[in-house]
């Protein structure tokens, strides 16, 4: 594979929801003028031959649908580490992945999707259904007290600039004075940034009657959002997976709204785009 080409990585397990991820990836690839790379992880080399046969069918179906041929990789490893490793190796622009949400035993063990995302330097877009539109018009941007809020602003600007989107800032409504102060500082920073960049936005304050993730999803559903943009928990650990970090709930939202997940990183995220919006 020519690694000088910019690409969007799609993690596929050959299920229908993985096909939805490929559809979303094509939406980004078209506007960015980049390639799409399908990645399938095998547990042992004995599975490679069968996987290659299925992948060839997937590539053919993708070409028939979009008129462009994706590249593909089959790697032996674990989905919890190999996807992130390949994304870094290819300097991928994004990783797009399908999820079935949190079901069955995942309620006890935590979302495997978050475990995959937490290992990556490249932002993930997690989807549950096919794209509804060819563009992203409405992006919900939750703002709370966490310092890492500022790190996702550049990505919100990047997506909004690509699709001429409107940002819907959804501000948390905590009672703790310390949280209120930090949330206000994050909101002011966000407004200043979007004003300087000429990004259209509006602000809505959560009622504070339910958990902030719950109200974020309900608000996103109410305005028919195309994307929610969140940060993952910094230094996420085993306990977070067991009890469920808040982003697990958003990733597996029952409204099935796509979620862009950005891991906390210093100054530079992903391949060619920095958090300063350059």
Residue 118's pLDDT band, with cuts at 50, 70 and 90, is: confident
Same domain, 269 and 151: yes
Same domain, 164 and 269: yes
Domain total of the chain: 2
* 31 within a domain of the structure (yes/no): yes
Torsions phi, psi for 273 (to 5 deg)? -125, 130
* 127 within a domain of the structure (yes/no): no
Same domain, 72 and 207: no
Same domain, 158 and 270: yes
DSSP 3-state of 2: coil
76-79: which pairs have CB atoms within 8 A and are 24 or more residues apart? 76/41, 76/42, 76/43, 76/44, 76/45, 76/48, 77/41, 77/42, 78/41, 78/43, 79/11, 79/41, 79/112, 79/116
Same domain, 74 and 160: no
What CATH code is carried by the domain that includes residue 251?
3.40.50.620
C-alpha 38/C-alpha 71 separation (Å) is 6
* 128 within a domain of the structure (yes/no): no
Torsions phi, psi for 230 (to 5 deg)? -130, 160
* 117 within a domain of the structure (yes/no): no
pTM to 2 decimals? Answer: 0.86
C-alpha 198/C-alpha 192 separation (Å) is 10
Neighbours of 77 (CB within 10 A): 13
- Interval 154-196: pLDDT, tens: 999 999 999 999 999 999 998 888 889 999 999 999 999 999 9
Same domain, 174 and 241: yes
More confident residue, 63 or 150: 63
Whether residue 166 contacts residue 201, with contact meaning beta carbons closer than 8 Å, is answered with: yes
* 166 within a domain of the structure (yes/no): yes
Of 35, 70, 98, the one marking the end of a domain is 98
Of 81, 98, 115, the one marking the end of a domain is 98
Report whether pLDDT(77) > 50: yes
Whether residue 232 contacts residue 246, with contact meaning beta carbons closer than 8 Å, is answered with: no
Report whether pLDDT(129) > 50: yes
User: Could you list the residue range(s) of the whole structural domain that residue 79 is in?
Assistant: 1-98
């Amino acid at each position: 594979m020519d690694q000088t080409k910019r690409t969007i990585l799609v993690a596929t397990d050959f299920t229908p929801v993985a096909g939805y991820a490929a559809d979303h990836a094509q939406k980004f690839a078209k506007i960015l003028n980049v390639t799409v790379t399908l990645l399938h992880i095998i547990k042992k080399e004995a599975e490679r031959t069968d996987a290659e046969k299925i992948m060839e069918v997937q590539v053919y179906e993708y070409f028939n649908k979009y008129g462009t041929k994706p590249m593909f990789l089959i790697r032996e490893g674990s989905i919890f580490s190999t996807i992130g490793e390949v994304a870094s190796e290819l300097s991928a622009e994004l990783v797009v992945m399908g999820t079935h949400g949190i079901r069955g035993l995942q309620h006890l063990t935590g979302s495997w999707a978050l475990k995959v995302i937490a290992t990556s330097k490249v932002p993930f877009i997690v989807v549950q259904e096919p794209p509804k539109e060819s563009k992203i018009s409405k992006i919900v941007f939750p703002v709370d007290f966490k310092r890492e809020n500022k790190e996702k602003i550049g990505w919100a600007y990047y997506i909004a600039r690509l699709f001429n989107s409107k940002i819907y800032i959804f501000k948390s409504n905590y009672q703790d004075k310390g949280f209120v102060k930090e949330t206000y500082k994050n909101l002011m920073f966000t407004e200043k940034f979007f004003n300087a960049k000429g990004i259209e936005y509006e602000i809505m304050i959560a009622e504070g009657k339910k958990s902030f993730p719950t109200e974020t999803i309900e608000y996103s559903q109410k305005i028919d959002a195309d994307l929610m943009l969140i940060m993952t928990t910094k230094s996420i650990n085993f306990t977070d997976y067991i009890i469920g970090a808040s982003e697990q709930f958003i990733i597996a939202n029952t409204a099935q709204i796509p979620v862009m997940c950005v891991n906390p990183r210093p100054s530079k995220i992903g391949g060619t785009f920095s958090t300063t919006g350059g």
